[in-house]
Amino acid sequence: MTAPLPLIAVTCGEPAGIGPDLAPHLAGLALPARPVWIGDARHLPSGRHAVIGSIAEAQEVQGDALAVLHRDFGAKRQPGTPQPSHAKPVIAAIEEAARLAMAGEVAAICTMPINKKALKDGAGFAFPGHTEMLAELAGGVDVAMMLASSSVSPPLRVVPATIHIALADVPAALTEAVLSRAIRIVHAALIRDFGVSAPRLAVAGLNPHAGEGGVMGREEVDWIAPLLTRLRAEGIEIAGPLPADTMFHAPARARYDAAICAYHDQALIPIKTLDFAGGVNVTLGLPFIRSSPDHGTAFDIAGTGAADPSSAIAALRMAAEMAQRRAS
């Protein structure tokens, strides 16, 4: 008898965005896991989905239909126009997925895009994004946000050491403790979740030309380089601090398995340029697996059928592969 596939909880995200448009594309994929959508089934396009009443019923869904754990959001979907009444149910779907993951009832979660302003306006959402919310739901653990490409070669994985803060605040926020923590989280995750037995890391400098010996900034000389030297002594293979403007062409990418960058755009501009449609957001450091497509709600095309499912499919596939590695 064939063992049941592990489950992946897929949260609906913002109903007014393209999340519901992407749902049909997640059905019938050849994956080592079965996706279960958490949200209002009435928001989904008609097609291949089956409503279930409990997570256990997902294994009973036949054929290629997408199992939908129906949660009543009260109001119909209005593509392109967020409704305040949807904010609390959207947050509740994320909370439920995290609970299921921590209880071992699902092997991973995959989150569709949310709109932070809509959640703040409708429910007082207090987090910069999914990453920070999930860290708190998991007990206040230290996390890192990785963006991973699904189709470029050599592959690209980037991690900003500081995330959703103003650029003016980065120099003070990028401390030795913050950078060290990010490096350690990435190193452990590459081994555990990505099958990289001996990770090679690259660390970008904060300043242009990585400070050029202190001429363009002192952070690299004063503490980044000494920190990397200490971590190398622990057995972590790290290159850097490196000039960020020469880290992301193909020959440079071939020399590392993940790049740790100083701030949000330093990390995300390269991957969104090289693999805009196929990038995947992964939260490292959680006690469970979480992935997400690397795009937003795209209100301008919601409900039109024009949404590209590549990133959502890649996110689901990556979550399934990570779950498979953890189970082996």
Q: For position 218, what pLDDT does the model report?
A: 96
Model pLDDT, residue 1: 46
Each residue's pLDDT expressed in tens, for the chain with a length of 328 residues: 467 889 999 999 999 999 999 999 999 899 999 999 999 999 999 778 999 999 999 999 988 899 999 999 998 999 999 999 999 999 999 999 999 999 999 999 999 999 999 999 999 999 988 999 999 999 999 999 999 986 888 889 999 999 989 999 999 999 999 999 999 999 999 999 999 999 999 999 999 999 999 999 999 999 999 999 999 999 999 999 999 999 999 999 999 999 999 999 999 999 999 998 889 999 999 999 999 999 999 999 999 999 999 999 999 999 999 999 998 8
For residue 263, what pLDDT is reported? Answer: 97
8 Å CB contact between 306 and 28: no
Strands (E), the chain: 7-11, 34-39, 49-52, 66-70, 108-111, 144-148, 157-160, 200-204, 237-242, 258-261, 280-284, 289-293
Contact 209, 243 (CB under 8 A): yes
Q: Are 37 and 66 in contact (CB under 8 A)?
A: yes
Query: Which residue pairs from 95-99 have beta carbons closer than 8 angstroms and sit at least 24 positions apart in sequence?
Result: 95/137, 96/9, 96/38, 96/71, 97/9, 97/10, 97/11, 97/38, 98/134, 98/137, 98/138, 98/288
Amino acid at 184: R
- Which pair of structure tokens corresponds to residue 100? 């299921």
Q: Quick one: which of 132, 91, 93 has its CA closest to 109?
A: 93
Cα–Cα distance, 62 to 186 (Å, whole number): 38
Q: How far apart are CA 194 and CA 76, in angstroms?
A: 39
The answer to whether 146 and 160 are in contact (CB under 8 A) is: no
Give me the amino acid identity at 228.
L
Residues 258, 87: Cα–Cα separation, whole Å: 35
Coil, helix or strand at residue 240: strand
Rounded Cα distance, 295 and 220, in Å? 32
Nearest-angstrom CA–CA distance, 61 and 55 = 11
Q: How far apart are CA 34 and CA 44, in angstroms?
A: 18
Q: Which two tokens stand for residue 281?
A: 């957001």
For residues 279 and 295, give the distance between their C-alpha atoms in angstroms, rounded to a whole number: 8
* Integer Cα distance of 235 and 228 in angstroms: 11
Instruction: Give the separation between CA 7 and CA 1, rounded to whole angstroms.
Output: 18
